[in-house]
A and B are shown apart, each in its own frame.
Chain A
């Protein structure tokens, strides 16, 4: 299958390993990945901070760039959530009905990684090998905006060598929330403290998630406390195999 990669601006700039892992994984499964280089950012930061007018050209660009593809994937629950639940609204608010309907059509073809694997490609065992004790943070947008359910855990459950440990209060927000962490730093930190406490209580050496923004937040906190627990994107785990020699833990936070 030919799959267009929507890399997302944060993964592109700060966490390319999540995106390269997505490419390696899909190619290993026998699919063709294309990267439309005219893409930049879905505009989620603008929309969620209240700058809907500024987001209109970004929505227009995103729709133009991705409209030609039948299947689009992003290694980010929140960016897919934005495409699915915000783009048409932004277009409608700006009075552009045509853009809104095209945005809806692109949204229907856009999948978060675990959705693509399980629902579209029909795989749960991707042949990965990852000998670590892992706990999984489901992330709010994957959990509630996309309803990915237990798909990530089905995928992780089939990974050889991986010891999956339950994260207490997993469904509670880590406190990132984009500009929330900047506008309400103390509340954000209090939420992060609880999330870290729960992660540490599992004894896992890796905290995984499907969203680099949450991983940046949790990883940044775990690193500041020098806990030694790493944060890793789901794609990195699924991309690693015994042969690939990439079983060492990649870090999304500071090691």
Chain B
């Protein structure tokens, strides 16, 4: 990738990578919703336990993680070559490859392709890439209806809601809420529907079956693309994705450029890592793979849209590029104590949780998501959980430095930080500062209240009594 031109980030005004509010503001709303917090705690605790159980069974889990990280790092090093190889193989197998620099271009390509078929409705396989670029909205503007077929995604779509988790988009909803959404929004639903999961799934199946059989165009994402053969892969749990991938006449796949892997042998590593890390399953229930088109079997027209949308900019950053290793397993979300309390919507992007806190600001440019790298205590649970060993805490710290350096200075914070650094580089001034701080606190309200912006701290916590002596005073006096 050229390094001389400035990196191009994802465009504004299209897609879902930016929120309208900063993280702390958006989080406040979720934190005030006890039902939402109960749903989230229950769901993340359950997935965490299930995943930990099946990971413990795998004696070579650490070696697998190392292999996964190494394959992805190698892939990113020679990404342009691998993508060209992929294009050649897909084309050779009867598919058509389109390169989209950003969300606007990708939406235009897909819209034109659907229009050319004459269809006014498409069925969709759950896909992060198409959410990222806001494809459903773009299709709607062109008079085309997109029907989500993943159960959780359908719940979000019918509820006119936003997804809040990578893998479980409706994680913030419980059964009772889902039943209400179905009763309100699903055409032809049985009014006696209960909130039993089987009954809810059956209702969705009835609704989707008709759609599958009558829609000739499908849009999917891809979990992986194998460069050596031009094979695309989608892994899912429900089988609805497989319906979309096999029944329609035309299949359009939108894929982030980082999803390519060099060979089938490499794929094997990820097919072990992904299900255990994400859903806590030993093997993925449905793994669908296709290579171009096969006469008389499955879609007869196949288009692959290779999406950049800021990824080249991420790749250009030596520290930041590891974020492109992500296989969207969502393990980091499920172990993150901040995600568990604040919920996915607080991140304002289709990518929530720890990976969202680093990937979104990298794709959009730090200015547009400057609060996200601070949405973490740097506890490191995400790094431990990540099956491809993305050092998310390192990335967070790296991006915080970018956020500070991109801001016009001075700010109140930058002045305080510079003053603190100045003092801390002068031991006598530092010791004098310690004494002064103690005196002012003793004279004041015994440390109960702090001035803004530090009063957020003392709203729920007491500061300790200032000690009679600092350590260095004690040491000097022994």
Instruction: Decide whether A and B assemble into one complex.
Output: yes
Contact with A41, one of B413, B424, B457, B465 (Cβ below 8 angstroms): B424
Tell me if B70 is interfacial: C-beta within 8 Å of chain A.
Answer: no
Is A177 a contact of B379 with CB atoms below 8 Å? Answer: yes
Known pairs A173-B379, A175-B377; A189 contacts B470 (CB<8 A): no
Tell me if A187 is interfacial: C-beta within 8 Å of chain B.
Answer: yes
Rounded to whole Å, the gap between the CB of B406 and the closest CB of chain A is 10
Is B456 a contact of A185 with CB atoms below 8 Å? Answer: yes
Contact with A185, one of B414, B459, B472, B476 (Cβ below 8 angstroms): B459
- A-side contacts of B401, CB under 8 Å: 47, 50-52, 93
Known pairs A35-B475, A175-B337, A184-B23; A253 contacts B462 (CB<8 A): yes
Is A252 a contact of B424 with CB atoms below 8 Å? Answer: no
Tell me if A202 is interfacial: C-beta within 8 Å of chain B.
Answer: no
Rounded to whole Å, the gap between the CB of B56 and the closest CB of chain A is 15
Is B424 a contact of A144 with CB atoms below 8 Å? Answer: no
Rounded to whole Å, the gap between the CB of A189 and the closest CB of chain B is 4
Is A173 a contact of B337 with CB atoms below 8 Å? Answer: yes
Is A220 a contact of B462 with CB atoms below 8 Å? Answer: yes
- A-side contacts of B408, CB under 8 Å: none
Map CB proximity to B onto A8-34 as digits: 1 under 8 Å, 0 otherwise: 010111111101100100000000000
Map CB proximity to B onto A117-148 as digits: 1 under 8 Å, 0 otherwise: 00000000000000000000000110111000
Is B421 a contact of A184 with CB atoms below 8 Å? Answer: no
Is A187 a contact of B378 with CB atoms below 8 Å? Answer: no
- B-side contacts of A14, CB under 8 Å: 464, 466-467
Interface centre among A14, A184, A253 (most CB of B within 10 A): A184
Is A50 a contact of B424 with CB atoms below 8 Å? Answer: no
Is A254 a contact of B378 with CB atoms below 8 Å? Answer: no
In angstroms, Cα B417 to Cα A93, docked, is 19
Is B471 a contact of A7 with CB atoms below 8 Å? Answer: yes
Tell me if A105 is interfacial: C-beta within 8 Å of chain B.
Answer: no
In angstroms, Cα B470 to Cα A133, docked, is 29
Known pairs A38-B427, A172-B337; A224 contacts B421 (CB<8 A): no
Tell me if A57 is interfacial: C-beta within 8 Å of chain B.
Answer: yes
- A-side contacts of B371, CB under 8 Å: 183
Is B470 a contact of A182 with CB atoms below 8 Å? Answer: no
Is B459 a contact of A49 with CB atoms below 8 Å? Answer: no
**Which B residue's beta carbon lies closest to that of A255?**
B465
- B-side contacts of A228, CB under 8 Å: none
**Which A residue's beta carbon lies closest to that of B338?**
A187
Is B424 a contact of A40 with CB atoms below 8 Å? Answer: yes
- A-side contacts of B461, CB under 8 Å: 189, 192, 217, 220-221, 223-224
Is B464 a contact of A46 with CB atoms below 8 Å? Answer: no
- A-side contacts of B403, CB under 8 Å: 50
User: Which of B24-32, B81-89, B297-305 binds A?
Assistant: B24-32
B contact face: mostly helix, strand, loop, or mixed:
helix
Tell me if B213 is interfacial: C-beta within 8 Å of chain A.
Answer: no
Number of interface residues of B (CB under 8 A): 63
- B-side contacts of A221, CB under 8 Å: 460-461
Known pairs A140-B377, A177-B378; A19 contacts B430 (CB<8 A): no
Tell me if A162 is interfacial: C-beta within 8 Å of chain B.
Answer: no
- B-side contacts of A61, CB under 8 Å: 424-425
In angstroms, Cα B456 to Cα A164, docked, is 33
Rounded to whole Å, the gap between the CB of B39 and the closest CB of chain A is 15
Is B400 a contact of A58 with CB atoms below 8 Å? Answer: no
Is A191 a contact of B374 with CB atoms below 8 Å? Answer: no
**Which B residue's beta carbon lies closest to that of A17?**
B467
**Which B residue's beta carbon lies closest to that of A54?**
B421
Tell me if A80 is interfacial: C-beta within 8 Å of chain B.
Answer: no
Is A140 a contact of B31 with CB atoms below 8 Å? Answer: no
Tell me if B381 is interfacial: C-beta within 8 Å of chain A.
Answer: yes
- A-side contacts of B338, CB under 8 Å: 184, 187, 191
In angstroms, Cα B421 to Cα A15, docked, is 21
Is A176 a contact of B377 with CB atoms below 8 Å? Answer: yes
Is A16 a contact of B337 with CB atoms below 8 Å? Answer: no
Is A7 a contact of B417 with CB atoms below 8 Å? Answer: no
Is A184 a contact of B462 with CB atoms below 8 Å? Answer: no
Tell me if B173 is interfacial: C-beta within 8 Å of chain A.
Answer: no
Map CB proximity to B onto A174-196 as digits: 1 under 8 Å, 0 otherwise: 01111111111111111110000
Is B437 a contact of A13 with CB atoms below 8 Å? Answer: yes
Is B472 a contact of A173 with CB atoms below 8 Å? Answer: no
Rounded to whole Å, the gap between the CB of B386 and the closest CB of chain A is 12
Is B425 a contact of A40 with CB atoms below 8 Å? Answer: yes
Tell me if B418 is interfacial: C-beta within 8 Å of chain A.
Answer: yes
In angstroms, Cα B475 to Cα A35, docked, is 8
Contact with B470, one of A16, A23, A55, A145 (Cβ below 8 angstroms): A16
**Which A residue's beta carbon lies closest to that of B478?**
A23
Contact with B31, one of A45, A58, A187 (Cβ below 8 angstroms): A187
Q: Using a CB–CB distance below 8 Å, which chain A residues touch chain B?
A: 7, 9, 11-17, 19-20, 23, 35, 37-41, 43, 45-55, 57-58, 61, 86, 89, 93, 140-141, 143-145, 171-173, 175-192, 216-217, 219-221, 223-224, 251-254
Q: Which 9 A-B pairs have the closest CB atoms?
A: A177-B377, A185-B456, A220-B461, A50-B400, A50-B404, A144-B380, A173-B379, A140-B379, A16-B471
Can you pick out 13 interface pairs between chain A and chain B where the beta carbons lie within 8 Å of each other?
A9-B424, A16-B467, A35-B475, A43-B424, A49-B400, A55-B421, A145-B380, A180-B377, A187-B338, A190-B37, A191-B337, A191-B341, A216-B464
- Given contacts A145-B380, A187-B27, could you give 18 more A-B pairs where the C-beta distance is less than 8 Å? A12-B434, A13-B437, A13-B438, A40-B427, A51-B404, A51-B414, A54-B421, A175-B377, A177-B377, A177-B378, A180-B378, A181-B457, A186-B27, A189-B460, A191-B337, A223-B461, A224-B461, A251-B464
